[in-house]
């Protein structure tokens, strides 16, 4: 198997993008976007995660099996988030005695 050589310039560019996204995250934390604050912060966090997985973990240049496993991990994460949000959304449906 032949390894793909990534130039240091690419790593510096990704590092700069991660720093810029971190600065944007801090700026968004101080801005009042109402209910969109969490959505914007999570979107930026997902972008940073994708950059890290693609370049620093070398998934971009890896075999297709790595892509399948990364997709399975993301699918599993979405399932867990969905189950958690389903539980959180239905907490008030059952009456508790004494309340």
pLDDT at 98: 67
pLDDT at 27: 95
**61-69 contact pairs (CB < 8 A, 24+):** 61/4, 61/6
Measure the CA–CA gap between 95 and 36, rounded to whole angstroms.
Answer: 31
* CA-based nearest residue to 77, from 42, 28, 38: 42
Place of tokens 């449906």: 93
Measure the CA–CA gap between 94 and 74, rounded to whole angstroms.
Answer: 32
Res. 3 pLDDT band, cuts 50 70 90? confident
């Amino acid at each position: 198997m032949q390894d793909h050589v990534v130039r240091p310039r690419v790593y510096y560019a990704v590092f700069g993008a991660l720093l810029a996204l971190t600065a944007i995250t801090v700026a968004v934390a101080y801005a009042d976007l109402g209910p969109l604050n969490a959505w914007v912060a999570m979107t930026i966090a997902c972008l940073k995660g994708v950059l890290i997985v693609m370049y620093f973990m070398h998934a971009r240049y890896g075999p297709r099996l790595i892509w399948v496993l990364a997709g399975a991990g993301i699918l599993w994460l979405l399932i867990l988030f969905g189950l958690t949000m389903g539980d959180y959304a239905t907490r008030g449906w059952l009456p508790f005695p004494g309340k």
